[in-house]
Amino acid sequence: MNSTGFVRGMMSKSMETEMYLTHVVKTIRRQLENWDERYEVKLQQDLLEETNYEVNVTLEDKTYRIHLDYPTVAALQDKSPYSLDRHIWESLKSKGLVIEKTHGDYLDKCYM
């Protein structure tokens, strides 16, 4: 999967943080679905603590849960256009998700 760094940079600078998080999670979902269309990815907001989020990635009977808080998401958004992606991918990897080799430059940009 490919990604345009210039456009992502503009998005990270101009989008509201929650909207940016939603975009990043959709991008991650598209990458995972390129590997296996059975992946399911959901972004949920904590009903009691509205500044907390959970990203759930499911494939068959395995679910990976990533917890994020608003200050962390906002800081990563400000740091660089792909810092939030990198953080989520690294969190998924630390929980056992295998990052596959892929065509395109999206993951390369996440890990630059």
Determine the 3-state secondary structure of 101 from DSSP.
Answer: coil
Question: How far apart, in whole angstroms, are the C-alpha atoms of residue 65 and residue 106?
Answer: 22
Q: Band the pLDDT of 1: cuts 50, 70, 90.
A: low
Q: What is the pLDDT of residue 102?
A: 79
Q: What is the pLDDT of residue 4?
A: 74
Q: What is the pLDDT of residue 3?
A: 73
Whether the pLDDT of residue 25 is over 80: the answer is yes
Determine the 3-state secondary structure of 11 from DSSP.
Answer: helix
Q: What is the pLDDT of residue 43?
A: 97
Whether the pLDDT of residue 92 is over 90: the answer is yes
Q: Band the pLDDT of 37: cuts 50, 70, 90.
A: very high
pTM: 0.91
Q: What is the pLDDT of residue 2?
A: 56
